[in-house]
Chains A and B, each alone.
Chain A
Amino acid sequence: MAILVNNETKAMIQGITGKQGMYHTKKMLEYGSDLVAGVTPNKGGQNVEGVPVYNTVKEALEKHPEINASLILVPAKFVKASATEAIEAGIKLVVLITEFVPVHDSMEIVELANENGVKIVGPNTIGVISPGISKVGIMPGYIYSKGNVGIISRSGTLTHEMGSNLTHNGIGQSTCIGIGGDPVIGMTHREALELFRDDEDTKAVVLIGEIGGVGEELAAQYMIDNGYTKPVYAFIAGRTAPEGKKMGHAGAIVSGNMGTAKSKITMLNKAGVQVADTLGQVVDMLKGALVK
């Protein structure tokens, strides 16, 4: 029944009274997410779209012990404190939407999460959606549709693109995960692949990567080492990017031989993954696969 986010997900938003927080509270409620609380220091007692606001995560949990996921929408400089609060309060899924989080903060958050058995998604992500069920994220819900293709992507907009392209072609998705565009992130391509492997609602996986880092190579190595029973289709953005230029995402930079599109595509091919030249080709590949 999908991964990470399902109909048992009870979410809260940290930073709920900010502009983004209020907007996405509305959007998550409209989508049918079970959003039970929000947290903003010194704003306890208010409500946003009827969702009660608390001063601390601890207070929110006292009133709503069922909370098991948090969406963090606070400014970058407060992300570490907010994430620490959520992790230490025992919330098992923490989604860090915020962009421009200092990498030293991300490393500390990830380490603390590992010690506490907490899954971190992000930072710098659109979050997670299990279409038709629930979302803990900021994606426009209606461009996704329920089905059995899993999507893993570093880029938020490419998740939207892939989700909407598949939806328009009648191919639904089980869960779509934006893992985030930063150099240090919680959940990686590899870890998301592991979750999809054991999910019976997922019949095929689309893995979207981009230049920089070695996450795609490690995912390929995992499939080579362990085998992977479900078909995986990939797309790597930035294959014609000029060397040494930062293309927006902090992680998306090629220097020397590290993180080139070529190394990713070669490794993925070795793992038996078909890599599409364009986004449109992924749709065609999936159509072919699902017809079989």
Chain B
Amino acid sequence: MDFYEFEGKNVFRKYNIKTSEEMLLTSPSDLKEFTYPCVVKSQVLSGKRGKAGGIKFAHNYEEMEEAVKEIFEMEVYGNKVDAILVAEMIDIAKEYYLGITIDPINKQSLLMFSPYGGMEIEELAEDEPDKIFKMNFTSEIDKDVLLEGIGEFNLDENIEKQLIEIIENLVILFNGVDATTVEINPLAVDGDNNLIAIDAKLVIDDNAMFRQDKYQLIDREEDKADGVNKKAKDADLIYVDLDDDGNIGLIAGGAGIGMATMDTIRYYGGKPVNFLDLGGGVTSEKTKKAMELLLTNKKVDGIVVNIFGGINNCEVMAKGIKSAVEEFGENQTVVVKSRGHSQEEGWAIYEELGIHQVKHGTTDDAVNLLLEKMEVR
């Protein structure tokens, strides 16, 4: 779950990380007097908002009102603006970078600090890797290693003390909220020599939401999705739109086989409309829903179903496919490749339905059979 800046900052404050004074607007009518000058920031889930015109400055109420109106009407990298954060303008003396993320190589958390903040850390890491201090940790951070590493930068003593405190709080936050990424960029040194979080990026592990559901979050774009994306989400299916001009629907029983099938359709010259992963613990109803989504999509002329009975069961899935084909099928070409637990029972159901099957062949064979049958029609 990606948090908006203002949501991230709410979490920061809870963990005693200082942020600027702010006012949240979810519509232009929320606007009230504020201190000036101020910064009017669009709340969208993408970086580099400033470059896209999503951050504006105001020196009085009229300018602030104008900026708010403009930003609510604009799109930032294709994202509608649902909220605006008005923040006091901080007199920034220096900009630092501070972040923690998951390091899959060392299978640990990774703390990163650089006194050269403000820019994208990926770019800094590429150009000047020695300007970033990095250290791995799991639950607790080794303070001696931290002090030594930060010491290399010869920061002002007072600043260093504040920084260490912020890092310690950020580590507690990172573990405490099951974050996969937390970033303060920039972490600013203000005119009074205090460190303040000017921005906040926070991503919380979706798999941990069962123990992290206490946040007040605004509605997400994806929750507002309509049409097929909403139906897929409601049915707990992983659905991704692919080619606009595609005509082949794809149902896979797993992410890996789904991606491989997508690649294979393209490799042999076909165009997939979608990627759809049934996931694990699949029922007949869920399979039926997946098939219904494709059978009722006017773009779809052919469907390849590429599933395994591993954690799932072939017969259970076949029943769902059958029921969807009987209810929603017109004359789409369908090829099924289904093997694993209860494969014989599954095959019998497809045979009865008169659906093309690849019993022992590869994904290549299934895709080629579909393309061949679609051309024949």
Contact = CB atoms under 8 A, between A and B. Distances in A.
Interface string B117-160: 00000100000000000000011000000000000000000000
A76 B253 CA distance: 20
Contacts of A77: 210-211
Residue among A139, A183, A240 with max Cβ neighbours from chain B (10 Å): A240
Nearest to B252: A157
Contacts of B109: 107
A241 B309 contact: no
Q: Tell me the dominant secondary structure on chain B's binding face.
A: mixed
Contacts of B280: 99
Nearest to B280: A99
Residue among A99, A100, A106, A211 with max Cβ neighbours from chain B (10 Å): A100
A108 interface: yes
B6 interface: no
Contacts of B266: 240
A44 interface: no
Interface in A117-162: 126, 138-140, 143, 153-158, 160-161
A108 B105 CA distance: 14
Contacts of B343: 140
Nearest to B363: A279
A66 interface: no
B242 interface: yes
A74 B254 CA distance: 20
B114 interface: no
B362 A165 contact: yes
Interface in B321-368: 339-341, 343, 360-365
A249 B122 CA distance: 24
Given A102-B207, A211-B259, A239-B263, A20 B105 contact: no
Contacts of B102: 103, 107, 183-184
Contacts of A111: 107-108, 138
A20 B311 contact: yes
A143 B238 contact: no
A173 to B, nearest CB: 16
Nearest to A126: B310
B121 to A, nearest CB: 11
A190 to B, nearest CB: 10
Given A138-B310, A247-B238, A283 B362 contact: yes
A193 B31 CA distance: 60
A235 interface: yes
Contact of B178 (A99, A104, A155, A248): A104
B119 to A, nearest CB: 14
A183 to B, nearest CB: 5
Interface string A165-206: 100100000000000010111000000000000000000000
Residue among B105, B208, B362 with max Cβ neighbours from chain A (10 Å): B362
A214 interface: yes
Interface of B: 102, 104-105, 107-109, 122, 138-139, 175, 178, 180, 205-208, 210-211, 238, 240, 242, 252-260, 262-264, 266-267, 275, 277, 279-280, 307-311, 339-341, 343, 360-365
Contacts of A157: 252-258, 307-308, 310
B339 A103 contact: no
Interface in A16-34: 20, 27
State the 4 A-B residue pairs at the shortest beta-carbon distance, nearest first. Answer: A155-B256, A248-B255, A157-B254, A280-B364
B262 A154 contact: no
Interface stretch (A35-43, A88-96, A226-234, A250-258): A250-258
A213 interface: yes
A256 B138 contact: no
B112 to A, nearest CB: 15
Nearest to B126: A257
A168 B360 contact: yes
A280 B365 contact: yes
Given A103-B102, A111-B108, A183-B102, A161 B362 contact: yes
Contact of B363 (A110, A184, A278): A278
Given A181-B256, A184-B104, A237-B260, 8 more contacts: A76-B210, A106-B107, A157-B258, A157-B310, A210-B259, A247-B240, A278-B364, A280-B364
A218 interface: yes
B242 A160 contact: no
A218 B362 contact: no
B138 A103 contact: no
Contacts of B309: 140
Contacts of B263: 237-240, 278
B262 A241 contact: yes
Given A104-B178, A215-B104, A249 B310 contact: no
B210 A158 contact: no
A108 B138 contact: yes
Contact of B262 (A160, A184, A240): A240
Residue among A104, A153, A214 with max Cβ neighbours from chain B (10 Å): A104
A106 B240 CA distance: 27
15 contacts: A76-B210, A99-B280, A126-B310, A140-B308, A140-B340, A157-B252, A160-B310, A161-B308, A161-B363, A210-B259, A235-B260, A251-B104, A252-B256, A278-B363, A278-B364
A250 B180 CA distance: 12
Contacts of B262: 238, 240-241
